[in-house]
């Protein structure tokens, strides 16, 4: 049994079928280059016969050199009404000029009889003809046995005959697909073991799972434990319905838990970067709870946990976060103890002694503010500002003289107009600025940064990435208070800030001020 596992990435094809995901041709090329740097074995670029964008991708990558990955084009077996040489889809697969070609065929009698609507023996001929022809044209042929596990439960003999038709006609690898995502690991283990026993020697077995029963990753691992050497999946598990097997979990499980090599040396540390890159180009909100790569994967909140991790990291961490390019985070809340404050202070290069009065003062202020509705778990920048104020090391970059926000509606069908005016004092000088925005908070943000631009040009780089509002209750009972969480970025780092008030504009202003002051403070440290 080989110790090396081939990773076949289908983010650009199967992943693009996820709801809300659409990659441009440029996006696809950029992701392909990133995946090659990451070290996957295959990159499935798309279905050349489905749309001009996918064919354009293959045209664009022909002149590129890939260090690790083979580009694969995806398509179906020939139509029953065409010869293989004249089949339009097969011709397009060859025109893609990819070194590998993945052919999908029907393995389930249900699909043969009621979807494809051909005689079962004809289906075997379609599979064999397509694989043999592409192999004769010099392509590495990967055969995806669609609905294999469901078909096996319906009629195991026929389902086996479909993959034997592919294997005996030149397919290098037979990929067993849990297309509907309903299989369980124990059954995958049994079926993959039987397939390996019956396939000709030298033909590889692969696995392609979906996550409809929440077992996509587990089924992939079960297949590898049963002898499969090729795994198909997507970055972050994106895909149709509930998604595909998440390679960001599969890969570290293989390398770190099972000792099975699937990436070149040192590339596993690029895992989180690769995950974030795909998330950004897919224009999706990051899933902070993803194993290994999520923002909370190594985040600790309970005081006992934080104290233990500070002493021995593996007490509450199954791997070192740096192994996958992630980092440990300490969340501060009313559950925090002194260890949480100390570790959070260390993150911001603030020196504190474990039993100092400052630690007690920070904890007391933290618990008081959280009782009022503040939340610092996603607002680390605001917590840094809070610590600096208590330690009397905070120097404001500006002082507010006043602001005004106007929202005007002039007619039923007319859009609302938002305008903000901000007056600040910087180094004894007063600056007054006004700005319009898409809403009152956006207008306030624009006016504040405009007022500061003359003194701090770097605020032009600060952008609001996310804005969340929640109604909370403090100890005043039924009196509603508004909590605003803002995520900001300067292109190099992201940070969160929080504000709380009965007035949403005031709460937003608090969060905006912390955001800008954090950016200016960090910018000053960089220089």
- Which DSSP letter does residue 172 get? S
What value does the mean pLDDT of the chain take?
90
Let me know whether 482 and 424 are in one domain.
no
Shared domain for 305 and 323, answered yes or no, is yes
pLDDT band, very low/low/confident/very high, at 527 (cuts 50, 70, 90): low
Please indicate, yes or no, if residue 74 is contained in any of the structural domains: yes
379 and 416, same domain (yes or no) = no
Claim to verify: residue 114 and residue 164 sit in the same structural domain: yes
> What are the φ/ψ torsions at residue 45 (nearest 5 degrees)?
-85, -20
Query: Structural domain tally of the chain?
Result: 4
Q: Do 445 and 333 fall into the same domain?
A: no
Give me the mean pLDDT over the 367-375 stretch: 79
What is the model's pLDDT at position 371? 75
Q: For residue 468, is pLDDT > 80?
A: yes
The pLDDT value given to residue 389: 87
Nearest of 522, 504, 68, 527 to residue 270 by alpha carbon? 68
Residues in contact with 483: Cβ distance below 8 Å, sequence separation at least 6, in sequence order: 373, 374, 375, 469, 470, 471, 472, 498, 499, 500, 507
- Residue 413 belongs to domain with CATH number: 3.30.160.740
396 versus 476: which is more confidently predicted?
Answer: 396
CA angle 130–136–139, rounded 5-degree value:
80
Gap between the Cα atoms of 241 and 249, Å rounded: 19
> 122 in helix, strand or coil?
helix
Check residue 238 and give left, alpha or beta (phi > 0: left; psi -120 to 50: alpha).
Answer: beta
The pLDDT-based confidence of 525 (bands split at 50, 70, 90) is low
Residue 104, burial from CB neighbour count under 10 angstroms (0-12, 13-18, 19+): buried
Residue 234 lies in a domain: yes
**Are residues 346 and 275 located together in one domain of the fold?**
no
CB 96 within 8 A of CB 73: yes
Query: Does a structural domain hold residue 291?
Result: no
pLDDT tier for residue 110 given thresholds of 50, 70 and 90: very high
383 with 447, same domain?
A: no
At residue 338, the pLDDT reads 66
Asked whether 373 and 483 are in contact (CB, 8 A), the reply is: yes
Residue-by-residue DSSP string for 230-282: EEEEBGGG--STT-B-BHHHHHHIIIIIS--B-S-TTGGGGHHHHHHHHHHHT
305 is a domain residue: yes
Please determine, for residue 334, whether its predicted confidence score (pLDDT) is greater than 60: no
Helix or strand (DSSP H, E) at 1: none
Task: Classify residue 69 by its DSSP letter.
Answer: P
pTM of the model: 0.76
Domain presence at residue 289 = no
The CATH number that applies at residue 499 is 3.30.160
Tokens standing for residue 403: 């602001």
Asked whether residue 494 is assigned to any structural domain, the reply reads yes
| Domain ranges, residue 419 | 401-455
Per-residue confidence (pLDDT) for residue 278, from 0 to 100: 95
Q: Look up tokens 């000792």; give the residue.
A: 259
Say how far apart CA 258 and CA 276 lie, in whole Å: 25
Terminal Cα-to-Cα distance of the chain (whole angstroms): 54
Q: Once rounded to an integer, what is the mean pLDDT over residues 42-64?
A: 91
Q: What is the pLDDT of residues 221-245, one digit of tens each?
A: 999 999 999 999 999 999 999 999 9
Taking the C-alpha atoms of residue 350 and residue 341, their distance in angstroms, rounded to an integer, is: 10
Determine the longest span between alpha carbons in the chain, in angstroms: 88
For the domain that residue 264 is a member of, what is the CATH number? Answer: 3.20.20.70
Instruction: Among 440, 455, 470, give the residue marking a domain's end.
Output: 455
Of 247-251, 307-311, 417-421, minimum mean pLDDT range? 307-311
Q: Is the per-residue pLDDT at 116 higher than 60?
A: yes
Instruction: Kindly give the pairing relationship between strand 140-146 and strand 173-178.
Output: parallel
Residue-level pLDDT at 478: 45
Final residue of a domain: which of 409, 426, 455? 455
Is the domain of 155 the same as that of 217? Answer: yes
Are 325 and 239 within one domain?
no
Q: Which of 295, 374, 290 is nearest to 329 (CA)?
A: 295
Whether residues 422 and 467 share a domain: the answer is no
Cα atoms in the 13 Å half-sphere on the side-chain side of 279: 18
Helix (H) or strand (E) holding 518: helix 504-526
**Predicted local distance difference test score (pLDDT) of residue 415:** 82
Asked if residue 287 belongs to a domain, the reply is: no
Q: Which segments of 51-101 does DSSP mark as H helices, in order?
A: 52-61, 88-95
H/E segment holding residue 111: helix 109-111
288 assigned to some structural domain? no
Residues 151 and 49 in one domain: yes
Statement to judge: residues 47 and 69 lie in one domain: yes
């Amino acid at each position: 049994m080989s110790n090396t596992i081939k990773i076949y990435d289908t983010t650009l094809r199967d992943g693009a079928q996820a709801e809300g995901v659409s990659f441009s041709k440029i996006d696809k090329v950029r992701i392909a280059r990133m995946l090659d740097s990451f070290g996957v074995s295959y990159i499935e670029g798309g279905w050349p016969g489905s749309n001009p964008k996918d064919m354009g991708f293959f045209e664009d990558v022909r002149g590129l050199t890939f260090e690790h990955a083979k580009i694969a084009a995806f398509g179906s077996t020939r139509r029953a009404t065409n010869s293989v040489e004249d089949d339009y889809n097969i011709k397009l697969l060859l025109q893609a000029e990819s070194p590998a070609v993945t052919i999908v065929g029907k393995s389930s009698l249900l699909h043969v009889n009621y979807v494809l609507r051909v005689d079962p023996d004809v289906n075997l001929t379609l599979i064999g003809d397509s694989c043999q022809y592409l192999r004769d044209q010099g392509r590495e042929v990967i055969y995806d046995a669609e609905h294999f596990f469901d078909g096996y439960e319906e009629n195991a003999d026929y389902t086996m005959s479909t993959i034997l038709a592919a294997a005996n006609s030149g397919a290098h690898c037979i990929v067993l697909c849990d297309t509907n995502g309903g299989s369980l690991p124990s059954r995958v283990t049994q079926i993959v073991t039987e397939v390996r026993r019956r396939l000709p020697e030298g033909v590889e077995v692969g696995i392609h799972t979906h996550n409809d029963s929440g077992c996509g990753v587990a089924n992939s691992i079960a297949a590898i434990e049963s002898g499969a050497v090729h795994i198909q999946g997507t970055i972050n598990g994106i895909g149709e319905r509930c998604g595909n097997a998440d390679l960001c979990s599969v890969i570290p499980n293989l390398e770190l838990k099972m000792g099975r090599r699937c990436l070149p040396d040192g590339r596993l540390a690029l895992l989180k970067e690769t995950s974030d890159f795909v998330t950004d180009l897919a224009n999706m909100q990051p899933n902070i709870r993803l194993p290994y790569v999520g923002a909370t994967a190594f985040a600790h909140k309970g005081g006992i946990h934080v104290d233990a991790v500070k002493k021995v990291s593996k007490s509450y961490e199954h791997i070192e976060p740096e192994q996958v390019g992630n980092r440990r985070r300490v969340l501060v809340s009313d559950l925090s103890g002194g260890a949480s404050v100390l570790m959070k202070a260390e993150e911001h290069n603030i020196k504190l002694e474990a039993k100092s009065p400052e630690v007690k003062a920070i904890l007391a202020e933290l618990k008081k503010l959280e009782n009022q509705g503040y939340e610092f778990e996603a607002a680390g920048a605001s917590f840094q500002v809070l610590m600096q104020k208590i330690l009397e090391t905070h120097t404001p970059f500006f002082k507010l003289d006043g602001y005004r926000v106007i929202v005007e509606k002039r007619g039923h069908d007319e859009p609302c107009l938002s305008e903000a005016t901000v007056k600040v004092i910087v180094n004894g000088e007063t600056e007054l600025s006004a700005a319009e925005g898409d809403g009152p908070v956006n207008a306030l943000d624009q006016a504040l940064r405009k007022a500061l631009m003359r003194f701090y040009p770097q605020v032009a780089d600060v952008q609001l990435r996310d804005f969340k509002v929640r109604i909370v209750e403090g100890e005043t009972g039924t009196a509603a208070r508004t909590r605003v969480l803002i995520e900001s970025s300067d292109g190099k780092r992201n940070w969160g800030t929080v504000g709380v008030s009965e007035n949403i504009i005031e709460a937003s202003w608090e969060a905006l001020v912390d955001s800008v002051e954090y950016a200016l403070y960090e910018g000053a440290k960089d220089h």
